[in-house]
Amino acid sequence: MADDCIFCKIAAGEVPSTKVYENEMAYAFEDLNPMMPVHTLVVPKKHYRNVADELPADELAALFEAVRAVAALKGVDESGFRIISNAGADAQQTVDHLHIHVLGGDP
């Protein structure tokens, strides 16, 4: 865990969040500033800056297992959803902890 990382603190339960889903390696919670009716963030419990970091295959699989579970729990798995993960400042990543946005629902 990075000491100053808000997403590390959320995943560890040190900062409150609205939990949507959790598995052994990933944590999913509602975005505080949703862009669509469904806007959930999925983060690894370990600290990685972004998808360019070398994630072990099992942690990457756990992230996408969480994405699939979130889509089902939020009811957008059949109607469609979008996933976004920014990597670095030029991509407008604002929190330096790997996170995947799960977006869906009627705009």
Contacts of 53 (CB under 8 A, 6+ apart): 98
Q: For residue 3, is pLDDT > 90?
A: no
Query: pLDDT, tens digit, for every residue of 37-88?
Result: 999 999 999 999 999 999 999 999 999 999 999 999 999 999 999 999 999 9
User: Residue 28 has what pLDDT?
Assistant: 98
| pTM, to two decimals | 0.94
First to last CA, the chain: 35
Say which residue, 47 or 107, is predicted with more confidence: 47
Query: pLDDT, tens digit, for every residue of 13-34?
Result: 999 999 999 999 999 999 999 9
At the second CATH level, the architecture of 1-35+52-79 is 2-Layer Sandwich (3.30)
Catalytic residue chosen out of the listed positions 47, 97, 99, 101: 99
Whether 47 is a known active-site residue: answer: no
**CA dist 73 to 64, 66, 68, 90, 106, Å?**
14, 10, 9, 32, 16
What's the full length of the chain, in residues?
107
